[in-house]
Amino acid sequence: MEDEITKIESRKDPECVLIGIAGGTGSGKSTFTNKLKDEFGDQVTIIYHDNYYRRQDGVPFEVRQKVNYDHPDSLETDLLIEHLQELRKGRPIQCPVYDYTQHNRSNETITVLPSKVIIVEGILVLQNQELRDMFDIKIYVEADADERILRRALRDVEERGRDLHGIIDQYLTTVKPMHYQYVEPTKARADFILNSGMNEVAFSTVCARIRELLAQ
């Protein structure tokens, strides 16, 4: 662990520190991210890669339902990179907002203000090399595949208005194969690999590092 901290020290940007939190769907990365937000409040800015799904205006809803949202090409990562560059310069951005019930980006945006620490969370945040190279700390959260699909199903039904049959079909046709092709390989790129979003030892370690950065 000390060697990883040393590596992070050598990469640190004194003006703004970027943290990337990746992992498969339902792995617990959002849990870990939200715990950090609860701990530090407004001192930390969080950006979700999901909000950068590409617009699909004019595409019928039935077609949008079948798009492979777990492939890197489904995300406008170039725009996310531009926004992170702006935040690093101390400039606010207009972050897009994704509507899961419509399978499309909405027309609204959210003003995101710069801060000392910016956390970027999403299944593929460590897949794109240009984006990955921007992070000072890279975290990968993993979990058993059965646990992940159960968490995803519960979330999509309760929070995103999806039906169970659609969730199962999407998981088998795109989510599962894309996880093994694009998501899981990024684990090797992480500075920290967590076996749970509730890993208290890892949480304490990351919190301690963030406090050091905020104190500078």
C-alpha to C-alpha distance for 110 and 98, rounded to whole angstroms: 11
pLDDT at residue 3, rounded to an integer: 46
C-alpha to C-alpha distance for 141 and 197, rounded to whole angstroms: 6
Q: What is the pTM of this model?
A: 0.82
Helices (H), 2-144: 2-11, 29-40, 61-64, 77-88, 129-132
CA atoms within 13 A on the CB side of 58: 0
Instruction: State residue 95 phi and psi, 5-degree precision.
Output: -80, 130
Return all residues near 137 (Cβ < 8 A) that are at least 6 apart.
8, 17, 18, 19, 20, 191, 192, 206, 209
All residue ranges of the chain with pLDDT < 50 are 1-14
Domain ranges of the chain: 2-215
pLDDT in tens, 41-56: 888 899 999 999 999 9
pLDDT at residue 1, rounded to an integer: 43
C-alpha to C-alpha distance for 92 and 65, rounded to whole angstroms: 32
Question: For residues 161 and 101, is the Cβ–Cβ distance under 8 A?
Answer: yes
DSSP conformation class of 199? -
Q: Which residue bears the tokens 């979990």?
A: 143
pLDDT in tens, 7-37: 333 334 446 889 999 998 888 888 899 899 9
Architecture of domain 2-215: 3-Layer(aba) Sandwich (3.40)
Question: For residues 121 and 19, is the Cβ–Cβ distance under 8 A?
Answer: no
pLDDT at residue 4, rounded to an integer: 43
